[in-house]
Chain A
Amino acid sequence: MTRHGAGQRLTVLLALLGLSIAAMALLSSSFLQVGTLQYILQFVPIIGLLGLGQTLIILAGGPGIDLSSGAIMSLCGLAIAGLSKLGLDPYAASAAGLALGLLLGSVNGALVAVIGIPPLIATLATFFLFGGLAIAMTNGRPIAGLPGSFGWLGQGTQFGLPNQLLIVFIPVAVALHVMLHHTRVGSHIIAVGNDHRAARLLGIRVVRLRFGLFALDGALAALAAVVNVSWFLAARPDAGRGLELAAVTVAVLGGTRIFGGEGSVAGPVVAVLIITVLQGGLQLANISPAWQLGLVGVLLIGSVIASDLPPTLPHAWLRR
């Protein structure tokens, strides 16, 4: 997508966000209250971190995807909670969790970038591996009872906004935005996503770049786990189940080209807001979660049509 196309996509997404907020406000009178919005914003960081990690993987082409990020989040959450229960300081345990995420992400990176297994297959395998490991280690039982002081990050607020948003998600999103659009690495990601053979011939180290992105994605999943554990003061072995698909949804709804080479950070960020607003709003209006998922599907298709087709479609219609 050219700059023009990316801008167009962002406009469509922002309009969609406005529309969703308006619709939810009509649906339930309590939606626009400060408490409600605070509640809804709490759901942004976890999906957002996974979604941005996924976006980077998809951007670098391949066609790249990481189906294991939810499982990495579950496993890292258990590690953090488990280490804390063993007497380690929860923040030190979080650091260990991040390291574990980096390691698990590197496993994906090694399988995909070094050995050359297609990302869909490699990360499907690690999805089962990591997810199975999480269940096996705990017999399916959650690890609960972390010290309340650790809840500051996941439960606390600052200026009315959740700490996890202010201290974790916004800085990470800004950093990734800068990385993608204002650094060499970002340009290399886009180039590799466009044509990895050309990128290699002109001296970009494709293997290293893709490996690094999978490792980064693992670390972002672990960061989501830190937020999650701090929020609930507990870790469930299935905490991340299904979130890998939510992450793909965020990336694609946010305008990432599924074959790589086109996309932004701002797009997926707005996409997360849309999804959480819809889910939160519908929940508030007591509409079944099944419908929430259906709506996300419709939205995904609708947004692609709205932002990708106009340049050609109306022309074709007008000429008839």
Chain B
Amino acid sequence: MEARGIWKYFDGNPVLSGVDLAIQHSEVHAVVGENGAGKSTLIKVLGGIYQPDRGILLIDGAPRRLRSPRDALAHGIVVIHQELSLAPHLSSEQNIFLGHFPVTRSGLVDRREMRRRTEVLFDRLSISVDPGCPVGQLSIAQQQMVEIAKALSLDAKVLILDEPSAVLDDDRLQILFGVIRRLRDQGLGLVYISHHLDEIFSIADRVTVLRDGRPTGHAPVADVTEDWLVGRMIGRDFASSPPQSRASGRIAIELRGLSRAGQFDDISFSVREGQVVGLAGLVGAGRSEVAQAVIGAVRPSSGSIAVFEKAVRITGPHAASRLGIAYVTEDRKTCGLLANRPVRENLTISNLKRFSRLCFMRPRHELRFARDLIARLDIRLPGMGHEIRKLSGGNQQKVLIGRALAVRPKILILDEPTRGVDIGAKQEIYAIIERLLAQRVAIILISSELEEILRLSDQIVVLRRGRVAATLSRTQASEAAIMRAAAGGL
């Protein structure tokens, strides 16, 4: 399959400008680029979801129009999206053959044949999953495999994987790589989308780099270096500034023996003005749950919280907001963005009091504030009325941070602030954090990226199974020290 000179416009803005991509049989082709570089749009063009405004798609050398995902499937092109599209209550075999069930001569679903073919597919992938088990009970990694099996059952020739690694830990990733290599050796052409450069080097044969919808590089992976890729992706240099020591002020917030049955137990730490306390730990260690309790989204069962050395009862997020505590969620999609509302509303909704007199809104104040914030955070968008779901992940994240800033927080909780965000936006978010610290905001940072925690935190609290496993100062902290505490003495 080949795409030649693909252009795609949204509201008159080019999102793809002349992108070429040739996918060979028996090859893994990586597509890299920052968020907003046009990767998702390109996939949607390849998968028949969008039609290109200019340019052509060639399949086996012949030009084709893909008018719908169904068209694409008919040509053996299957996209596996980041959000999997499985029906959770159906079994994996039912999911795999949904829409093309094998039937017996009498027209009924041939269960035995379905089971047999499922097992053949699973064999081909060398995975062991019970074909009859409802998909909802499988792990994310297993679900991904079922999705790939589904693609194979459709006789896929080109398989497009959109950031499959985002939901996988290291071991699972190696299993996925094994499957990808096997499929490549069986003759499939694969497209692999990712942020993580190390993955590109371990799995891809060829790489195409996109920046702002333009192809900026194309080469066999064996011929390129990480620096080359990063340079092509961001088109500018950034200095990874070493953290300076920060002036600290009064204790802004203190947790004293905070507990919630079954989630976390006896959590104590404090954060000073202008400082960052990093909450580290494995997924499931209770970090987000602690944050939820601090903002009153859930009630702790015992323990107390003091804000500026005054004990407070936080009865809900509204109360937290009144105390100057703001929270940026880890889950942008389902509990962060007001997806269908314009950017301006998304920025200001957290503190409308600031933009109103009595209870009447003052739209001009609101607009001025939003403009100012967009400039300050360098949020890139076509227009203020633009619906936020159309922005890239990095820009969406900046809007959420901007929203938290609208309440003029004294205490800011950032839960995975750079998840799903590209390298450039990540640096920008770090710069925003440093500016906030200079303004004496106290920050609680939750992150699964050790590098991020180490770079930003003045103090690191490591949680393990809902308890504080270690409290490390900046000088004591290292990746090894954190991992030892988080995983329990390796």
- Report the contact-size class of chain A (Cβ under 8 Å from the partner): 20 to 34
CB distance from A311 to the nearest CB of B (A): 12
Residue of A nearest to B349 (CB): A191
Are B338 and A203 in contact (CB-based, < 8 A)? Answer: no
CB distance from B11 to the nearest CB of A (A): 11
Asked if B342 is an interface residue, CB under 8 A from chain A, the answer is: yes
- Classify the interface of chain A: helix, strand, loop or mixed: helix
- Report the contact-size class of chain B (Cβ under 8 Å from the partner): 20 to 34
Name the one of B51, B317, B327, B339 contacting A195, with C-beta atoms under 8 angstroms. Answer: B339
Asked if B208 is an interface residue, CB under 8 A from chain A, the answer is: no
Are B321 and A202 in contact (CB-based, < 8 A)? Answer: yes
For residue B176, which residues in chain A have a CB less than 8 angstroms away from its CB? none
Are B327 and A204 in contact (CB-based, < 8 A)? Answer: no
Query: Chain B CB within 10 Å — which of A184, A186, A190, A204 has the most?
Result: A184
Are A3 and B359 in contact (CB-based, < 8 A)? Answer: no
Are A198 and B337 in contact (CB-based, < 8 A)? Answer: yes
Interface residues of A in 251-284 (CB under 8 A from B): 261-262
Query: Chain B CB within 10 Å — which of A178, A183, A202 has the most?
Result: A202
Asked if A201 is an interface residue, CB under 8 A from chain B, the answer is: yes
Are B385 and A183 in contact (CB-based, < 8 A)? Answer: no
Asked if A197 is an interface residue, CB under 8 A from chain B, the answer is: yes
For residue A200, which residues in chain B have a CB less than 8 angstroms away from its CB? 297, 316-317
A199 to B245, CA, bound (A): 36
Are A197 and B361 in contact (CB-based, < 8 A)? Answer: no
Asked if B85 is an interface residue, CB under 8 A from chain A, the answer is: no
A187 to B403, CA, bound (A): 15
Name the one of B67, B335, B341, B356 contacting A184, with C-beta atoms under 8 angstroms. Answer: B356
A3 to B345, CA, bound (A): 12
Asked if B276 is an interface residue, CB under 8 A from chain A, the answer is: no
A132 to B359, CA, bound (A): 40
Are A203 and B350 in contact (CB-based, < 8 A)? Answer: yes
CB distance from A59 to the nearest CB of B (A): 13
Are B295 and A204 in contact (CB-based, < 8 A)? Answer: no
Interface residues of A in 163-191 (CB under 8 A from B): 178, 182-188, 190-191
Name the one of A184, A202, A261 contacting B361, with C-beta atoms under 8 angstroms. Answer: A184
Interface residues of B in 402-429 (CB under 8 A from A): 403, 407
Are A202 and B350 in contact (CB-based, < 8 A)? Answer: yes
A3 to B353, CA, bound (A): 22
Name the one of B297, B340, B361 contacting A187, with C-beta atoms under 8 angstroms. Answer: B361
Asked if A141 is an interface residue, CB under 8 A from chain B, the answer is: no
Are A3 and B385 in contact (CB-based, < 8 A)? Answer: yes
Are A197 and B316 in contact (CB-based, < 8 A)? Answer: no
Name the one of A4, A185, A187 contacting B345, with C-beta atoms under 8 angstroms. Answer: A187
Instruction: List 21 contacting pairs A-B, 8 Å CB cutoff, sorted by A.
Output: A1-B340, A2-B387, A4-B385, A178-B360, A182-B361, A183-B360, A185-B359, A187-B345, A187-B349, A191-B345, A191-B349, A194-B339, A195-B334, A195-B335, A195-B337, A198-B337, A201-B335, A202-B349, A203-B316, A203-B320, A203-B350
Interface residues, chain B, with chain A CB atoms under 8 Å away: 51, 67, 295, 297, 316-318, 320-322, 327, 329, 334-342, 345, 349-350, 352-353, 356, 359-361, 385, 387, 403, 407
Interface residues, chain A, with chain B CB atoms under 8 Å away: 1-4, 178, 182-188, 190-191, 194-195, 197-205, 261-262, 319
